[in-house]
Structure 1
Amino acid sequence: MRIIAMIPARYNATRFPGKLMKDLGGEPVIVRTYKSALASKLFDNVYIVTDSEIIKDTINAVGGKVIMSKKDHNCGSDRIAEAVKELDIDIVVNVQGDEPFIDKNSLKMLLEAFTDDRNKQIDLASLKVQITERKQIENPNNVKVITDNNDFALYFSRSVIPYLRDNDAKVSYYKHKGVYAFRKDALIEFYKTPVTPLELSEKIECLRYLEIGKKIKMIETTHESIGIDTPEDLDKAIEFFNNTNE
Structure 2
Amino acid sequence: MKTVVIIPARYASTRFPGKPLVDLAGKPMIIWVAELSAKAVGQENVYIATDDQRIAEVVAQHNFQYLMTSSQALTGTDRLAEAAEQLNADIFINVQGDEPLVDPADILKIRDAKLQHPGQIINGFCWLTPDEDPHSVNIPKVITNEQDELVYMSRQALPGYKEDKNAPKGFKKQVCIYAFNKAELLAFKTFGRKSQLEACEDIEILRFIELNKKIRMVETKGGSLAVDAPEDIDAVTAALKNKETNQPNE
Aligned-CA RMSD value: 1.6
- TM-score, length of structure 2 as denominator length: 0.92
Aligned positions of 1:16-55 closer than 5 A:
16-41=16-41, 45-55=45-55
Q: Structure 2 CA distance, aligned partners of 1:93 and 1:146? A: 22
Matches within 5 A, 1:55-74: 55-74=55-74
Contact 1:8–1:50, Cα closer than 8 Å, also in 2: yes
In structure 2, the residue matched to 1:99 is 99
Q: Give the C-alpha shift of residue 21 in structure 1.
A: 1.2
* Shift of residue 170, structure 1, vs aligned partner: 4.5
Q: In 2, are the aligned partners of 1:2 and 1:44 still within 8 Å (CA)?
A: no
Q: Single out whichever of 105-114 and 72-81 deviates more from structure 2.
A: 105-114
Alignment correspondent of 2:248: none
176, 180, 184: which one aligns with 1:186: 184
1:174 maps onto 2:172 in alignment: yes
Separation (CA, whole Å) in 2 of partners of 1:223 and 1:159: 20
The equivalent of 1:116 in structure 2 is: 116
**TM-score, normalised on structure 1?**
0.93
Q: Could you say what secondary structure the match of 1:136 adopts?
A: coil
Q: Give unpaired runs (5+ residues) of structure 2.
A: 246-250
Task: Tell me the distance in 2 between the aligned counterparts of 1:55 and 1:42.
Answer: 21
* Cα shift at 1:39: 2.1
Q: Name whichever of 133-142 and 193-202 sits farther off.
A: 133-142
Counterpart CA distance in 2 for 1:43 and 1:126 is: 22
* Code of the aligned partner of 2:53: E
Aligned partner of residue 36 in structure 1, secondary structure: helix
Aligned length: 243
Q: Percent same amino acid at aligned positions? A: 34
Q: What SS does the corresponding residue of 1:245 show, helix, strand or coil?
A: helix
| CA–CA separation in structure 1 for the residues paired with 2:100 and 2:130 | 25
Cα offsets for 1:177-225 (capped at 9, x unmatched): 1211112111110010032111111111011001210111000123321
SS in 1 for 2:11: coil
Q: Which runs of 5+ in 1 are unaligned?
A: none
Partner of 1:242: 241
Aligned counterpart for 1:131 among listed residues 117, 128, 133? 128
Superposed CA deviations along residues 31-60 of structure 1, whole A, max 9, x for unmatched, are 111122112236761100101111111011
The whole-number CA distance in structure 1 between the counterparts of 2:43 and 2:179 is 12
Cα distance, 1:244 vs. partner? Answer: 2.1
1:29–1:86 Cα change, 3 Å: closer
